[in-house]
Amino acid sequence: MITLKGIKKTYENKAGRFEAIKEVNLTIDKGEIFGFVGYSGAGKSTLLRLTNGLELPSEGTVELGDKVLSELDKKAIRKERQSIGMIFQHFNLLWSRTVLENVMFPLEIANVTKSERLRKAKELIQLVGLAGKENSYPAQLSGGEKQRVGIARALANDPKVLLSDEATSALDPQTTDEVLELLEKINRELNVTIILITHEMEVVRKICNRVAVMDSGVIVEEGSVLDVFKHPKHPVTQRFVKQDREMDTKETKEALKELQSLYPDGDIVQLLFQGGSVNVPIITQVSRETGVDINIIQGSIQSTHEVPMGTLVVQLLGTKEKRRSALDLFKTYPIEVEVLGHDE
Partner 1 sequence: MTNNLPLIANIFLEYFDFASISWDRVWEATEQTLYMTVVSVVAVFFLGILLGLLLYETRNSESVWASILYKVVAFLVNVFRSIPFIILIVLLIPFTKALVGSMTGPTAGLPALILSAAPFYGRLVEAGLREVDKGVIEAAEAMGANKWEVIRKVYIPESLPNIIAGITVTGISLVGYTAMAGVIGAGGLGNLAFLEGFQRSRPNVTLVSTVIILLIVFVIQFIGDTWVSKIDKR
Q: What angle do CA 291, 292, 296 make, to 5 degrees?
A: 140
72 vs 255 by CB, closer to partner 1 = 72
79 vs 331 by CB, closer to partner 1 = 79
Amino acid at residue number 343:
D
- Least separation in angstroms between CB 236 and partner 1: 27
Residues 6+ apart with CB under 8 A from 209: 32, 33, 34, 224, 225, 305, 306
Q: How far apart are the two ends of the chain, measured CA to CA in Å?
A: 56
70 vs 92 by CB, closer to partner 1 = 92
128 vs 286 by CB, closer to partner 1 = 128
- Least separation in angstroms between CB 108 and partner 1: 7
**Residue 185: other Cβ atoms inside 10 A:** 13
Helices (H) and strands (E) counted in the chain, each on its own, are 11, 14
- Least separation in angstroms between CB 172 and partner 1: 20
36 vs 273 by CB, closer to partner 1 = 36
Q: Are 192 and 162 in contact (CB under 8 A)?
A: yes
- Least separation in angstroms between CB 127 and partner 1: 18
- Least separation in angstroms between CB 24 and partner 1: 20
Backbone angles phi, psi at 196, to 5 degrees: -125, 150
- Least separation in angstroms between CB 191 and partner 1: 21
- Least separation in angstroms between CB 156 and partner 1: 8
139 vs 250 by CB, closer to partner 1 = 139
Rounded Cα–Cα distance for residues 63 and 293 (Å) = 58
Q: Are 172 and 160 in contact (CB under 8 A)?
A: no
Rounded Cα–Cα distance for residues 12 and 29 (Å) = 32
Residues in contact with partner 1 by the rule CB under 8 A? 52, 54, 75, 78-82, 84, 86, 88, 90, 92-97, 105-106, 108-110, 137-139, 153, 157, 163
Rounded Cα–Cα distance for residues 159 and 190 (Å) = 9
Q: What angle do CA 58, 235, 222 make, to 5 degrees?
A: 50
Residue in 330, 255, 327 with CA at minimum distance from that of residue 297? 255
13 vs 174 by CB, closer to partner 1 = 13
96 vs 279 by CB, closer to partner 1 = 96
The angle that helices 143-154 and 114-127 make with each other, rounded to 10 degrees, is 130
Rounded Cα–Cα distance for residues 206 and 46 (Å) = 24
- Least separation in angstroms between CB 23 and partner 1: 25
